[in-house]
Amino acid sequence: MIEAEKLTKRFAGRAVVDGVSFRCEPGTVTGFLGPNGAGKTTTMRMICGFARPDAGSASVLGGEYRRLPNPGRRVGVLLDASAQHGGRRGREALAISAQTMGVDEARVDDLLDRVGLERSAARKRVRQYSLGMRQRLGIANALIGEPEVLILDEPANGLDPEGMRWMRGLLKDFAERGGTVLLSSHLLHEVDVIADRLVIIGAGKIVAQGSRDELLSSAGTLVRADDDAALARALAAAGLTGREAEGGGLLVDAEPRAVGAAARDGGVALVHLAPAGDAGLEQLFFDLTSGEEER
């Protein structure tokens, strides 16, 4: 279990993480989603005790990460796949982690198989690894101590579609056996296919969190008509506002029932009326991202 309680971090007076609270329960995969620079990495580093929060607190398995006597045996951490010595061989990098936490080095070979790194690749120096291979090595490193909790920062970055499918299987399996997973991403579709719950962060603040279905149901209604201008007028007359959705149509912050009634009252023929679902989630995320760019 992971708990963040009003975590706050300021750099040069600016709050890069601002009152962030969420919980990750055993048996679930939580996706921590937000554009680059939103505060995901800083939050995760505070959870793992690498950075001290200016306010608030974080706990892993009921206490501070730094108080865990042998953290590798209980929490698997991958904070940056590039953080490996380029002159060290892949297998050796895992072996020194195993030795540090007192795990039989024989386990390293099982892990290499499990993350799909071949023996020939494991004998190479990490400098020669692609980002995808570094991610696999980093995930193997996180799994060495057979932990109960996994904390992974952008683990899908650099993975090909096959790698994504593999990771989804691995994390689902880990959660099904009672593990807790927190993984971050700046890409909605990466997290969307893996996570049971989403925590969305923008500009240091939590914008939305909940199960996928909960977020989808609050995402509004997607409506299309042949005459979008007339539709917009009809919505306005009913006191509803629509925004242009990615890929056409309008996204309305209301139930389909209310939108349909507004269209009828305005005499507009609809060609599409449905809960926004994925499109709404994408729009929500897109708004965050573009808001970040304007700043």
Residues that bind another protein (CB under 8 A): 45, 48-52, 65-66, 68-74, 77, 79-80, 82-89, 92-93, 96-97, 99-102, 125, 141
Count the Cβ atoms, other than its own, within 10 Å of residue 87.
Answer: 9
Q: How far is CA 128 from CA 53, 122, 141, in A?
A: 36, 11, 18
In sequence order, the 6+-apart residues with CB closer than 8 A to the CB of 76 are 141, 142, 143, 144, 145, 147, 149, 150, 151, 152
Judged by beta carbon, residue 30 or residue 141, the one nearer another protein is 141
The two tokens of residue 236 are 């306005």
CB of 96 to another protein, least distance (A): 6
CB of 78 to another protein, least distance (A): 9
Surface-to-core class of residue 212, CB atoms within 10 Å of its CB (0-12 exposed, 13-18 middle, 19+ buried): middle
Please work out, in degrees rounded to the nearest 5, the angle formed at the alpha carbon of residue 127 by the alpha carbons of 129 and 181.
55
Sequence-distant contacts of 60-65: CB under 8 A, at least 24 apart: 60/1, 60/2, 60/3, 60/149, 60/151, 61/1, 61/148, 61/149, 62/1
**Local structure of 219: helix, strand or coil:** coil
Judged by beta carbon, residue 103 or residue 284, the one nearer another protein is 103
Facing residues of 4 across strands?
22, 58
Judged by beta carbon, residue 89 or residue 114, the one nearer another protein is 89
Judged by beta carbon, residue 82 or residue 290, the one nearer another protein is 82
CB of 100 to another protein, least distance (A): 5
DSSP letter for 154, please. S
CA–CA distance, 150 with 175 (Å, rounded to integer): 10
CB of 168 to another protein, least distance (A): 24
CA–CA distance, 65 with 164 (Å, rounded to integer): 28
CB of 34 to another protein, least distance (A): 17
CB of 180 to another protein, least distance (A): 16
Judged by beta carbon, residue 52 or residue 295, the one nearer another protein is 52
Judged by beta carbon, residue 54 or residue 227, the one nearer another protein is 54
CB of 269 to another protein, least distance (A): 56
Largest CA distance in the chain: 73
Judged by beta carbon, residue 147 or residue 220, the one nearer another protein is 147
Judged by beta carbon, residue 42 or residue 209, the one nearer another protein is 42
CB of 102 to another protein, least distance (A): 6
